Amino acid sequence: MKRFLILVFILILILEISSVFAEEKNPVEVLSSAWESEGRINFIATETNGMYMGGRLNITVSKVFALATGKFRREYLFPSFLAGDLLIDDGHSSYYYQPGRGLLTVGPSLYDPQHRDIHRKLLELIMKNYDISGQPDKFLGRDVTKICISPKNSKNILLALWIDNQTYLILKRERYSPDGKLQEYSFYTDIDFTTIPNERLFVWIKPRRDFRTVERREKFIPLEETKRKDTTLINLSLLQEKGYECISVKEVPRGIAYHFSDGINNIMFFDLQNLPPMPPSVRRITTDGIVYSYWQFDGMSGFAWSYNGRRFLIIGVIERDIIEKIIKRLR
Amino acid sequence: MRCNEVKRLLSAYFDRELPADKSIEIKEHLRSCRSCAKELESIEKIHRLMGAFPILEAGPYFESQIIERIESEKRKRRFSLGLKLAIGFALCGLMLFLITLRYLPSENVTLETTPVLNTYIQEYIETYSGHIGRSNPGLIVSVSSLGETSR
């Protein structure tokens, strides 16, 4: 009897260990698969997003429809002032219709090759600059791999993703600030992978009521071209030391925006014709006759100054030493 | 005598408060008038019923108790009025506070006051929230409308 019990115990132990090993997947492979599967899965779900900004949690709840052919539809349900708003991405353009404002914003599709390229670069930077760990978990009753992304040699999680083991769809994500505060999250509920949404849902149909249209076309400037024109900005070695790379350059109103990223943290560097009027609450610091305007909330900083006929604006999660060194390097 | 006058004097007649000549006149009238006789019967009936109630003696402090009660009622009314005024002032204060709050500059960067800066901030937010397949311009609208509760 005693031997029999020991045998049963050993068998259970072997089964448990083997099941754990069977479920555990390589986190880097899971993350890469999740990245690649974006826009390539059919599903219908309810999505909740939350973002802390200005000491306030902003929440949106929407019904989302996705087609494996890179089409997407979002119907806003909450907050009340967004209810009725509609986003359709047909793979070529995105249409964001706000009936309350009588406004349609037409922009590029997030599935276009340029965005996919940026997306791929971000993944490369995450793999280069961060530690990626994974563990089996459950979400919405489904088997998922929880991927945690932390700075190298640090246990502080900056990004956590719950990736479905079957479809590789990111079912839930949480982004934290370096000091461990939750900054942003999103998750799906009521998810349905079996129903394929009707193609007609992804076609923008002009409403009968009057509305005005705003075109929001993105004009990316090839990195090589930018490097030739302005080596100062694009090769900010200081940022490169910190693991940042310039991953895109594009035209913005009255200037050019350089997007630097280390995969998780992003810095937007604007080279502008005119500096925007600053809010009254900014702090102004004057050194060597140059006035710097500085503001910060929820970890996001803004820094603006004029020098030698050029006007710069930096927005992002920026460490103080980076700001100081950028100023020294640029002026 | 006419019926109207007799009916007016019937209560006094019943209580024997009238002069003798008036009492005789009414007595004569009642003999010939059925309606007035009936009125007298109902007065007699009421009198009998009232006589069935026990007579209550007022206590020694009855008067002072009545006065105290009246004063108490007055105080209650004054308190109730004061309470109403206080609630009214509190509501007015709350409204003023809310109105002031609406128009005071926010502790946060008042993004809505610098729309040009706002476009650049939106550009930055999009870089990290505009995850492929998760385009959520509504979230950016919501975030950018700091201090605004509706549009």
Helix boundaries (H) for chain A: 2-23, 27-37, 113-129, 223-229, 231-234, 237-241, 320-330
Q: Taking residues B75-82, what's their average pLDDT?
A: 73
**CA-closest candidate to residue A75, choices A164, A217, A202:** A202
Per-residue DSSP letter, A25: -
Looking up tokens 């109207």, which residue turns up? B4
Domain membership flag for residue B121: yes
Higher-scoring residue by pLDDT: A192, B85: A192
Percent of chain A clearing pLDDT 70 (strictly above): 88
Mean of all residue pLDDT scores within chain B: 70
Contacts of residue A82 in chain B, CB cutoff 8 Å? 138, 141-142
* Rounded Cα gap, residues B108 and B100, in angstroms: 16
Cβ of residue B16 closer than 8 Å to a chain A Cβ = no
A252/B134 CB distance under 8 A: no
- Same domain, yes or no: B46 and B63: no
Report cis status (omega within 30 of 0) of the bond before A151: no
For strands A86-89 and A71-78, give the pairing: antiparallel
Longest dimension (CA), chain B: 116
Number of domains in chain B: 3
- Same domain, yes or no: B13 and B34: yes
- For residue range A103-150, list pLDDT tens digits in order: 999 988 888 888 888 888 999 999 999 999 999 999 999 999 999 999
Structure tokens at A169: 């769809």
| pLDDT recorded at residue B52 | 57
Judged by CB atoms within 8 Å, which residues 281-300 of A form the interface with B? 281-282, 295, 297, 300
| pLDDT recorded at residue B151 | 30
CB-based burial, A188-213: b 16+ in 10 Å, e otherwise = beebeeeeebeeeebebeeeeeeeee
Q: Which residues partner with A104 through β-bridges?
A: A97, A213
Q: Which residues partner with A286 through β-bridges?
A: A291
Domain membership flag for residue B150: no
* Rounded Cα gap, residues A108 and A91, in angstroms: 9
- For residue range A258-295, list pLDDT tens digits in order: 899 999 888 898 989 888 887 777 888 887 788 888 88
Contacts of residue B106 in chain A, CB cutoff 8 Å? 54
Interface probe for A, chosen from B107, B113, B117 (most Cβ of A below 10 Å), is B117
Say if residues A66 and A170 touch (Cβ distance below 8 Å). no
Domains and CATH numbers, chain A: 24-215 (2.50.20.10), 219-330 (3.30.200.100)
Interface probe for A, chosen from B108, B116, B119, B120 (most Cβ of A below 10 Å), is B120
Torsion of the alpha carbons at A123, A124, A127 and A130, rounded to the nearest 10? -80
Higher-scoring residue by pLDDT: A324, A184: A184
Domain residues for the domain of B18 are 3-51
Domain membership flag for residue B71: yes
* Rounded Cα gap, residues A100 and A207, in angstroms: 13
Domain membership flag for residue B64: yes
- Same domain, yes or no: B11 and B45: yes
A253/B127 CB distance under 8 A: no
ipTM at complex level: 0.74
Structure tokens at B141: 């609208």
Domain membership flag for residue B149: no
Q: Quote the pTM value.
A: 0.68
Domain membership flag for residue B151: no
A111/B110 CB distance under 8 A: no
Q: Taking residues B128-151, what's their average pLDDT?
A: 58
- Same domain, yes or no: B98 and B82: yes
| pLDDT recorded at residue A330 | 66
Of A217-226, A239-248, B17-26, give the lowest mean pLDDT range.
A217-226
Give the SS3 label for residue A292.
Answer: strand
- Same domain, yes or no: B98 and B67: yes
- For residue range A135-190, list pLDDT tens digits in order: 999 999 999 999 999 999 888 999 999 999 999 999 999 999 888 889 889 999 99
Contacts of residue B120 in chain A, CB cutoff 8 Å? 252, 257, 268, 270, 276, 313, 315
- For residue range A72-103, list pLDDT tens digits in order: 999 999 998 899 999 999 999 999 999 988 99
Q: Which helix (H) or strand (E) holds B137?
A: helix B137-144
Beta-carbon-side half-sphere exposure of residue A86 (alpha carbons within 13 Å): 17
